[in-house]
Amino acid sequence: MDYALIDAAASPDAAPALQPYMEAGLARSLFERQPESSLADAGPWLVVLDGHAGLRHLLHVMDRRPGAVARLGADVGFEALFDHLEGCLDLRLADGSLAMFRFWDGRALYRVWQLLTPAQRKAFFGPVTRWSVRLQGQMWELDRSQLETSDA
């Protein structure tokens, strides 16, 4: 299935535009069940890409903001992907404390990606088959097959 991961903090219009999709069960904020739930409207949203014209327009507008929209392919349904991504929100630091991993912001993921070990990359990718995000006018793309054959 195809999904989008939208950084709603990149636009004040994002969360209101996503509400109809949330009500239809096609979108949820990853902060929904987190201590940061009060910030859900400004957090990352997972959205099923269903071909709806309004959603295509929102993604087109959001794509103008660097790193604000990631397009994902996954071989699992919405709830399983949501649970996986929700489980990736926190990173355990060397001192044992937790930090939020802003992977939904393509700029942050791009910077951290080269620091991750191959095992960490595979664990992060989980059920995701491909991940792409527009950065500096170009698409940055990750594919599960890259993880299996090289140091992506």
Summarize pLDDT for 95-122 with one digit per residue, the tens: 999 999 999 999 999 999 999 999 999 9
Cα(6)–Cα(72) distance, integer angstroms: 11
Q: Whole-angstrom Cα distance, residue 43 to residue 68?
A: 11
Whether 146 is covered by a domain: the verdict is no
Note whether residue 152 is domain-resident. Answer: no
Domain that holds residue 41: 2-141
- Please report whether residue 147 resides in a domain: no
123-148 as b/e, with b when 16 or more CB fall inside 10 Å? Answer: ebbbbbbbbbbbeeeeebebbbeebe
pLDDT band at 82 (very low <50, low <70, confident <90, very high): very high
Instruction: Note the pLDDT tens digit of each residue in 3-58.
Output: 999 999 988 888 899 999 999 999 999 999 988 888 888 899 999 997 777 888 88
Q: pLDDT at position 150, please?
A: 55
pTM over 0.85: yes
Query: Is 101 inside a domain boundary?
Result: yes
Neighbours of 16 (CB within 10 A): 11
CA dihedral 57, 63, 67, 72 (to 10 degrees): 50
Tallying the residues shown for the chain, one arrives at 152
Say if 79 falls within a structural domain.
yes
Q: Residue 87: what pLDDT?
A: 95
Whether residue 152 has pLDDT greater than 60: no
**42 and 75 Cβ atoms separated by less than 8 Å:** no
Domains in the chain, number: 1
In a domain, 74, yes or no: yes
